[in-house]
Structure 1
Amino acid sequence: MKKTSKDYMYVGIQFILFAVYIIPVTIITFTSGTVFNIIGIILLALGALMGLVSIIQLNKNLSPFPTPISGGKLIETGLYKYIRHPIYTGILSTLLGYGLYSGSVYKILITMTLLVLFFHKSKYEEKKLSLVFSEYPEYMKKTGRFFPKAL
């Protein structure tokens, strides 16, 4: 499938937000006591692990673009058995965790902006995946977008 300008827009905004996230802004901060530090570290570690495992599971199907790669296959095993976009979940968890750990409202706001972007990017991606994989709409019914569906 051919990439469109939307593909480049989503990826471009995503990388701009990543770059903005790492800017050391200390204007909007809070004292992140022990509880926030522990929650932050746990979210950061789980998010990094989830992201890494998801990337490994996608293997040759990995692309930063929402349009599926030519000749790719639908992965419905591993983390993808429960979540349609575990890489996005891993990124969000990692960034939120670090934001909490560092007491940075700025980093938390950037993470929330990424959540909105990933929501729209994933909706676009799922339209494309449904065109390529006839089984994708059924897969969507069984799995959650960013978190497992409740039983």
Structure 2
Amino acid sequence: MSIPRKDKIYVLLQFLVFIGWLFDVESLKFQISENLHSLGFLAAAIGFLLILVALVQIGSKISPFPSPPENARLKTTGAFAFARHPIYSGVLFIVFGAALWLGSGFKLLISLLLYLIFFLKSRYEERRLLEKFSEYAEYRNDTGRFFPKFKGRI
């Protein structure tokens, strides 16, 4: 199976944004309280753990490309019961948390750009998953994209 061109474009954009995140602009640095500093570190640590759990669940089926491989199975348990894209969620926790921890406005802006790319990439990926798995529509309605859906009344 050849990799669709759109898949390659999304992965390239994602890679370029990751590279951009490694840089910083001194004039966009900011000071934060110790509590926010700790919160940023905690968010990054949670993201790292979320990625590890999702990777263990996916196993050797992991791919950076959004189109599901022919032999793919729909995963709806574990980390995937809370978010349809837990690896993207984990990455977002890491980049936003680390940007806050480091007090970097530039990294926060790049993190927002990454969120946008993940949103668009996941929309495309979900169209492909709907084509492959009839049960994906119900799973999508019951499960949040990057964060859990809160159902019921508070």
TM-score range, shorter chain: over 0.9
* CA deviation string 1:49-102 (max 9, x = no partner): 001111111113211000001201111110101210010010010011110011
Structure 2: gaps (5+ residues): none
Q: Which runs of 4+ in 1 moved over 6 A?
A: none
Counterpart of 2:120 in structure 1: which amino acid? H
Aligned to 2:36: 36
Equivalent-residue separation in structure 2 for 1:128 and 1:13 (angstroms) = 19
User: Partner residue of 2:87?
Assistant: 87
For residues 126 and 60 of structure 2, the distance between their equivalents in structure 1, rounded to whole angstroms, comes to: 18
Distance 1:143 1:82 in 2: 6
For the 8 Å contact 2:24–2:107, the answer to whether it is kept is no
Q: Which residue of 2 aligns with 1:15?
A: 15
Are 1:47 and 2:47 matched, yes or no?
yes
Mark the runs of 5 or more structure 1 residues left unpaired by the alignment.
none
Letter paired with 2:38: I
- The residue number in structure 1 matching 2:129 is 129
Structure 1 distance, partners of 2:130, 2:98, is 34
Backbone CA RMSD of aligned residues: 1.1
Secondary structure at the residue paired with 1:27? helix
TM-score (norm 1): 0.96
Matches of 2:59 and 2:133, distance apart in 1: 18
**In structure 2, C-alpha distance between the alignment counterparts of 1:105 and 1:24, rounded to whole Å:** 8
1:115 equivalent in structure 2: 115
CA distance in 2, matches of 1:24, 1:114: 15
Asked if 1:63 is matched to 2:63, the reply is yes
**What letter is aligned with 2:11?**
V
TM-score, length of structure 2 as denominator length: 0.94
Contact 1:66 1:122 in 2 (8 A): yes
Identity across the alignment (%): 40
For 1:148 and 1:96, locate their aligned partners in 2 and report how far apart those are by CA, in whole Å.
18
Paired residues in the alignment total 151
- Residue 8 of structure 1, CA deviation: 0.5
> Is the contact between residue 2 and residue 67 of structure 1 (CA under 8 Å) also seen in structure 2?
no
